[in-house]
Amino acid sequence: MSAPAPTEHGLFVDGKWVLPAGTGRFSTRNPATGEVLGTFVSARPADVEAAVTAASKAFPGWKETPAPKRGEILLKAAEILRGRKESVARVVTREMGKVIAEGRGDVQEAIDFIEYMAGEGRRLAGETVPSELHHKFCLTIRQPKGVVACITPWNFPTAIPNWKIAAALVCGNSVVFKPASNTALCAYEVVKVYEDAGVPPGVLNFVTGAGSVVGDALVGDPRVRAISFTGGVEAGREVYVKGARQLKMVHLELGGKNPVIVMDDADLHLALEGVLFGAFGTSGQRCTATSRVVLHEKVYDEFLGMLLERLKTFRVGDPLDPSTEMGPVASADQEKKVLEYIDIGQKEGARLRVGGHKLTGGAYDRGHFISPTIFETRHGTRISKEEIFGPVLSVIKVHDYEEAVRVANDVDYGLSSSIYTRDVNRAFRAVGDLEAGITYVNAPTIGAEVQLPFGGVKNTGNGGREAGSAAIEEFTEIKTVFIDFSARLQKAQIDPR
C-alpha cells in the first residue's frame, strides 16, 4: 500500500484553519522510514497572541454553556474519534513509531478519557457543609479558570493532549493547545475531532512551532491563567519559573526512572513478561517505562538469563507490522540521546549484556532503530539514575527487600514503581514504602487507566495529578459561597456561642 502524500496544516484560531503569511514551515517524518508526513506552521509570538485573544473572547460564552451541554459535545468527540480509531492509530504509528497495537491503545485511551470527562459534565460536584451560625447556608461550586494552555510531549500524541483538552473543556475553560513538533499531525487529528464535534469557535485553538518560541509566548501571556505541561524536567522547570512570575497555576507532569523490584518469591515468568513490556514497549519512551530491574540476588542469574534468552527472539522492525514487538525510537534526536547514554553506561563500567547499538542494514537504514539493550550495573551509575527515555534497561542486584526499596527510591524521580512478589505482607509494605505516585503489584510499571489519578512525586512533578477524579482539580477554581437567610448581621467566631 503506498503511503499517503504529505499534507499541509495551518493553525486553528477562532474556529478557522489559517496559514499566517510570513511564517516558516516545519515537517514531521516517519521515524521508521524517513518519509515526510505533513508540514506545519512555525508560529510566531503574534500568532500565539491571536490564539489567546480568540480563547479570551470565547471564554465567557463557554463558561455560561451548561456543563452537561459541554459534556454532550465531548461525547460526540469520543464517538467521532471511535469512528476514526484505526486511521488515527496508523497516524500515531507512522509519526511517532510505536507499534500499531500501541498506536491503537493510544487512541483508545483518548476515547476512554473523553467519555469519562463527558460524564463529569453532569457531576462537577462541590460540597455542602454546615454553618456555625443559624440560617446560614454554606457550599462550594467549581468554576473554570479561564484561558488555559495545554503543552504536550510526543510520546502519547493523542492520549496526553486529550487528557488535558477534554478535562479543560468540560470544566468550562477555553484552550490554546501546543503539541510537540514531531507529532504535529497526530495533534492535528485531535483538534479535528473537536472541531467536527461542534466545539464553538475560539474555545479550542491550536498553535504549532518550537517550545522556545510558541510555548514560551503562551506561558508568558498574562491572559493565560493556567498551564498544563507534560514533558521533560528541563523545559518543565523553565515553564514553572516563568509562570510563577505571574502567579499562574502551573501543572507539571515530568520524567521518571521507574523500577521493577523482582523478589526471590516472585513468579519469574510473569515478571519477565512485565519487565519486557515495561522496558521495551513504546521503545522505552513512556514516562512510566521500566528503566531499572532491582533484582533479588537469589533469583538474579536465573531471571537475567531468562531476559537475555527471550530477547534473542524479540522482533524489532516495521511498527505497522502486527508481529513487530518494538519499533524505532521517535526521532533522530532521540536516537542520538539514547546512543549517548549507552556510551556513558559503557564508560562508567556497566556490563553490556545485550544490544547497545543502532540497528543497520536493509529497512533499518531508513529509520531510527536501536536494539533492546540491557546493562548490569551497580546502583549509583548515571544510567541507573537518569532518565534515558529509550530501550535501555539497567539490572541491579540487591540483597534483600530493604535494600531493594532503598535503591528503588534513591533517584530524583518518583512516577511509577512495581514489585513482583507472592508475599502479600511484603506487597502491602511496598505500597507504602515506594516513593512514587503509582505502585503496581505483580504488574509492569506501565498501564495507566483513565479513571484513576496519574502523576508523581519528587522531580516528576509539582504535586498535582491528571486523569481520574483529580482531573477536575487541575482545571477548576473553587468558589466558597455563604448564603445568610437570617435577615440580621451574624458574626462568625464572634457572636456568643
- Sites of contact with ligand NAD (CB under 6 A): 151-156, 178-180, 211-212, 215-216, 219, 230-232, 235, 238-239, 253-256, 287, 387, 389, 415, 460
Q: Which entry of 287, 325, 387, 474 is annotated as an active-site residue?
A: 287
Please give the full DSSP string across 128-180, using - where no structure is assigned.
EE--SSTTEEEEEEEEE-SEEEEE--SSSTTHHHHHHHHHHHHTT-EEEEE--
For residues 124 and 151, which CB has a smaller minimum distance to ligand NAD in the complex? 151
Cα distance from N-terminal residue to C-terminal residue, the chain: 81
- Is 186 annotated in the active site? no
Q: Give the nearest distance from C-beta 487 to ligand NAD in angstroms.
A: 52
85 close to 96: Cβ distance less than 8 angstroms? no
Name which of 267 and 386 has its Cβ closer to ligand NAD: 386
Q: How far is Cα 460 from Cα 462, in angstroms, rounded to an integer?
A: 7
Distance, in Å, from the CA atom of 357 to the CA atom of 330, rounded to the nearest integer, reads 16
**For ligand NAD, the closer CB: 287 or 307:** 287
Among 405, 354, 397, smallest CA distance to 379 is for: 397
- HSE-up (13 A, CA, CB side) for residue 269: 0
Q: Is the dihedral of CA 288, 290, 294, 299 positive or negative?
A: positive
287 is catalytic: yes
Task: Output the smallest distance, CB 393 to ligand NAD, in A.
Answer: 16
- Cα–Cα nearest to 316, from 251, 363, 382, 263: 363
Torsion angle of alpha carbons 65, 68, 71, 72, nearest 10°?
Answer: -90
Distance CA 175, CA 435 (A): 33
Comparison of 9 and 178: residue with beta carbon closer to ligand NAD = 178
> Rounded to an integer, what distance in angstroms lies between the CA atom of residue 9 and that of residue 38?
7
H/E element holding 402?
helix 401-409
| Given the residues 102, 189, 253, 325, the one annotated as active site | 253
CB of 361 to ligand NAD, least distance (A): 28
Residue with cell string 500499531 = 100
**Residue 396, helix vs strand vs coil:** strand
Phi and psi at 269, nearest 5°, equal -70, -40
- The smaller minimum CB distance to ligand NAD, of residues 210 and 304, is found at 210
- Residue by residue, DSSP assigns 354-375 as E--SB--SGGGGGS--B--EEE
Catalytic residues: 253, 287
